[in-house]
Structure 1
Amino acid sequence: MSLNSIFQYFVPKDKKFFPLFEQAGANLIEMAKLLNISVNSTNLEERKELSKKLEDLEHVGDNITHQIHLELGRNFITPFDREDIHALASSLDDVADFIHGASNRMQLYNVEQPTQPMIEITALILEATEHVAKALFELKDLKNIRNITDSCVRINSVENKADYIFDKAVADLFEYEKDAIALIKQKEVLSAMEDATDKCEDVANVLESILVKNA
């Protein structure tokens, strides 16, 4: 048994950070679901309402991040390195920001008909957030390292798929889209969506770092 494992044995069961991380994960799934509904809807008024709900959930995510930072200041003993807690909270907040950003760009640029690549990447965002939430749920018991590692691998796989769809979609835009304004609008929306999967991968990277330090 490593010294770190022995130390963890004597650390009181955390009742602050892990519940907050689980709330953040659940919030990301809800945001991804709303974005997924939005890109599959042809009702512009419905999409406007969904965008407003996404904005509200993004604020919920901000509040969770703020609460995690407050707890860092209040607690001398933390379940793992303070820097990792901060990095994990920040990376989760980034995911929420880019999911909201994708929805916001669709509204700002008046994207009336989401394209098939947008629909596909949005589905991948939802899949990635589900794996993120699963990993966060397992984080409170570092005995289940294999489950967390599996989620991280799946997140990386999803991000690779999103990269491929994004690159192909942008290539097709330059090849076939003759309207420069429409091209820019679509590329900006696709970019925000793909960035959301990138940020999920950042979460996976932080989780893997935590596993290495606490193995």
Structure 2
Amino acid sequence: MLFGRLLPREGNFFELFNQHADRIVEAARAFSNLVANYSDIEKRESYNREVDTAERAADRITQEVNRMLHKTFITPIDREQIHSLINTMDDVADLIQDSAETMALYDVRHMTDDIVRLTDLSVKCCERLKDAVALIDKLSDAATAEAALKTCEEIDKLESDADRVMRSAMSKLFREEPDVREVIKLKAIYELLETITDKCEDVANLIEGIVLENS
């Protein structure tokens, strides 16, 4: 399929996908900085605001894509694929914001090594997601389609790594943490962070479907 000939005059869906992926990475990196500087309240609040700003920008892009879908007669890829992709990407941004908000709401006092590991894997997933999204508009090229599939496989592997870290973290938490309140707090954080990688894998699966259908 020659995507370029089918782009709607109203705008470029692929460019909006790329802009959204940029905001996801911005949110993920700001969250990583929040975790790294958690003991500094001023920096923590500053990075929290950066997460919020990136998430709100991602929301606006999602709304624009959905608005364009209603106005565009011919779309470069299947309409349902566009709708599913942008909304699943938006779920990633939402989960990053949810993780930052939950830490504040639950008054988490310190970061554990497992939070740091899961955060690192989440950032890597988001960065690879951005790389995969950037390839979607060039899938008519066989080498690009293959690169997209390889990137999606890397996201799958990172998600599996995060799942293993979370299982280990949960086991240690229930065996070693005597404070029930801390168990509840940390369990919620671990699950949210692992869900970020789950949702990135969902995006990767959607991209794989687009590749197979359109390359």
Q: TM-score range by the shorter chain?
A: over 0.9
Q: How many residues align?
A: 210
**Aligned pair 1:22/2:18, yes or no?**
yes
State the distance in 1 between where 2:4 and 2:31 align.
Answer: 41
Q: What code does the residue aligned with 1:114 have?
A: M
State the distance in 2 between where 1:122 and 1:86 align.
Answer: 27
Shift of the 141–180 alpha-carbon distance from structure 1 to 2, 3 Å rule, reads: same
Structure 1 residue runs of 4+, over 3 Å off? 7-10, 12-15
Shift of 1:66: 0.2
Equivalent pair of 2:177/2:183 in contact (CA under 8 Å): yes
2:92 is aligned to 95
State the distance in 1 between where 2:59 and 2:5 align.
Answer: 32
**Aligned pair 1:11/2:6, yes or no?**
yes
TM-score if structure 1 supplies the norm length?
0.94
Say what the alpha-carbon RMSD is for the aligned residues: 1.4
**Aligned pair 1:117/2:133, yes or no?**
no
Shift of 1:154: 0.5
**Aligned pair 1:137/2:125, yes or no?**
no
SS state at 1:140 partner: helix
State the distance in 1 between where 2:58 and 2:7 align.
Answer: 26
State the distance in 2 between where 1:24 and 1:212 align.
Answer: 23
Q: What code does the residue aligned with 1:104 have?
A: E
Shift of the 29–8 alpha-carbon distance from structure 1 to 2, 3 Å rule, reads: closer
Equivalent pair of 2:23/2:58 in contact (CA under 8 Å): yes
SS state at 2:135 partner: helix
State the distance in 2 between where 1:68 and 1:9 align.
Answer: 18
Shift of 1:140: 1.0
State the distance in 2 between where 1:74 and 1:39 align.
Answer: 41
Shift of 1:89: 0.5
SS state at 1:110 partner: coil
TM-score if structure 2 supplies the norm length?
0.94
1:188 is aligned to 188
2:43 is aligned to 46
State the distance in 1 between where 2:51 and 2:25 align.
Answer: 11
Shift of the 135–202 alpha-carbon distance from structure 1 to 2, 3 Å rule, reads: same
Which of 53, 70, 74 matches 1:73? 70
Equivalent pair of 2:7/2:75 in contact (CA under 8 Å): no
State the distance in 1 between where 2:4 and 2:94 align.
Answer: 36
State the distance in 2 between where 1:125 and 1:64 align.
Answer: 21
Shift of 1:51: 1.2
Q: What code does the residue aligned with 1:58 have?
A: E
Q: Which runs of 5+ in 2 are unaligned?
A: none
**Aligned pair 1:172/2:181, yes or no?**
no
Answer with 8-17 or 64-73: which moved more.
8-17
Equivalent pair of 2:159/2:198 in contact (CA under 8 Å): yes
Q: Which runs of 5+ in 1 are unaligned?
A: none
Shift of 1:10: 4.6
Shift of the 176–214 alpha-carbon distance from structure 1 to 2, 3 Å rule, reads: same
